[in-house]
Amino acid sequence: MFKPLSYFVKYKEAVDNVSVSSNSEHLINLITDAIGILSSDVDFDVDKLLNQREKIKQDLNEFDLLLDSFKSTVDVDLRKRELSYLNKSQKAYEDSRNGDTPEYIIKRFHTHPIASNKEIKKRIIHSISMHCSWEQPGLIIRPGLADIIDPMIALDPLYIMDENLLLLDHVKSLWNEIYQSRIRYGIIDDQSNDIFKNLPKSQFGFVLVNDFFNYKPFDIIKKYTQEIYGLLKPGGSMIFTYNNCDYANAVRNFENLLYTYTPGSLIIKMLEFIGFEVTTTFSDSNDNTNWIEVKKPGKLSTLRGGQCLGKINI
């Protein structure tokens, strides 16, 4: 009987959660306490008990080693099985690249919100706000319904980009004309050799990629993150949401053709290979909200002494 990959990912989740180390330590402590009681007031030979305790400790350590080996075997097996899913994800992306109209994407914002849980939504907004200051330029990729990007209006200047001008209409209606005049809007294209060719390199303090990588395959995410690394200042950060297929629910989303197949374990290795430091990861498999926060090595700095609030007419 054919079993989808989500079945094996669910099994790996269960295997990864198996642990006896903490209980082993507790058991050894109980045995040590028992031996202490037996030998405290009576001249009683407890050597056999002590030897048995060491044997139990050794057996438990050997069990831990076998368990770790079994987990590695399960992981290797899953990595082999997922190759077809990575290829399917790439093909699905290529087949639908011109099929996801702006109208469809806008509708998707409502039917599949990036965080339906209010507390999780507050958490990602808080994480974003920690990187927002007038001292640094910022970039938003896919503003969506703008329900988590409000803290980013502090960034100066603020660039907002997406794949179609219609996807920027909502955010253009949010703020007054004075503030809108300070925003730089732009269009991006996955197929471009230089996606961000019109943006200054090594100048951004923070980049948010919102509900965008959820629909991109691994190689396209790699392409974007490599270029974003070049946009960031030393010490600059990026937060992006994605479909963490280390969890069975996320794999089912791919099997149901909702999101792409992007395991967090592979994404993190790729980010570290590029040069990023992974500072925070968050996954809630029930809400299917996942994000990663990374930093370009270095210390974030600025030459600004104050925010410019006016202009000189010549």
pLDDT digits (tens, 9 = 90+) for 254-267: 999 999 999 999 99
Query: Strand pairing partners for 283?
Result: 290
Q: Which is nearest to 129 in space by CA: 183, 208, 204?
A: 208
Query: What pLDDT shows up at residue 43?
Result: 65
Report the alpha-carbon distance of residue 231 to residue 296 in Å, rounded. Answer: 10
What are residue 123's phi and psi, to 5 degrees? -65, -45
Q: Tell me, letter by letter, the H, E, C secondary structure of 105-135.
A: HHHHHHHCCCCCCHHHHHHHHHHHHCCCCCC
Report the alpha-carbon distance of residue 214 to residue 197 in Å, rounded. Answer: 23
Task: Spell out, as residue ranges, where the chain has pLDDT lower than 70.
Answer: 1, 40-44, 303-314
| Torsion on CA atoms 289, 126, 143, 277, rounded to nearest 10 | -70
Report the alpha-carbon distance of residue 284 to residue 265 in Å, rounded. Answer: 15
| Torsion on CA atoms 268, 273, 276, 281, rounded to nearest 10 | 10
Query: What pLDDT shows up at residue 292?
Result: 98
Q: Tell me, letter by letter, the H, E, C secondary structure of the chain.
A: CCCCHHHHHHHHHHHHCCCCHHHHHHHHHHHHHHHHHHCCCCCCCCHHHHHHHHHHHHHHHHHHHHHHHHHHHHHHHHHHHCHHHHHHHHHHHHHHCCCCCHHHHHHHHHHCCCCCCHHHHHHHHHHHHCCCCCCCCEEEECCCCCCCCHHHHHCCCEEEEECCHHHHHHHHCCCCHHHHCCEEEEECCCCCCCCCCCCCCCCEEEEEECCCHHHCCHHHHHHHHHHHHHHEEEEEEEEEECCECCCHHHHHHHHCCCCCCECHHHHHHHHHHHCCEEEEEEEECCCCEEEEEEECCCCCCCCCCCCCCCCCCC
Query: Strand pairing partners for 204?
Result: 232
Query: What pLDDT shows up at residue 62?
Result: 92
Query: What pLDDT shows up at residue 15?
Result: 93
Q: Which is nearest to 81 in space by CA: 314, 284, 313, 251?
A: 251
Query: Strand pairing partners for 244?
Result: 262
Query: What pLDDT shows up at residue 126?
Result: 96
Helices 47-81, 5-16: crossing angle, 10 deg rounding: 160
Order of strands, sheet of 277-284, starting from the edge strand that comes earlier in the sequence: 183-187, 158-162, 138-141, 204-209, 232-241, 289-295, 277-284
Query: What pLDDT shows up at residue 261?
Result: 97
Query: What pLDDT shows up at residue 84?
Result: 95
Query: What pLDDT shows up at residue 243?
Result: 97
Over residues 15-49, the pLDDT tens digits come to 999 888 778 888 888 888 888 887 766 666 788 88
Report the alpha-carbon distance of residue 117 to residue 217 in Å, rounded. Answer: 25
Query: What pLDDT shows up at residue 275?
Result: 98
Query: What pLDDT shows up at residue 303?
Result: 63
Query: What pLDDT shows up at residue 313?
Result: 40
From the candidate CATH numbers 3.90.220.20, 3.40.50.150, 3.40.50.1370, 3.30.110.30, the one assigned to the domain spanning 96-295:
3.40.50.150
What residue has token string 């806008």? 106
CB of 212 closer than 8 Å to CB of 142: yes
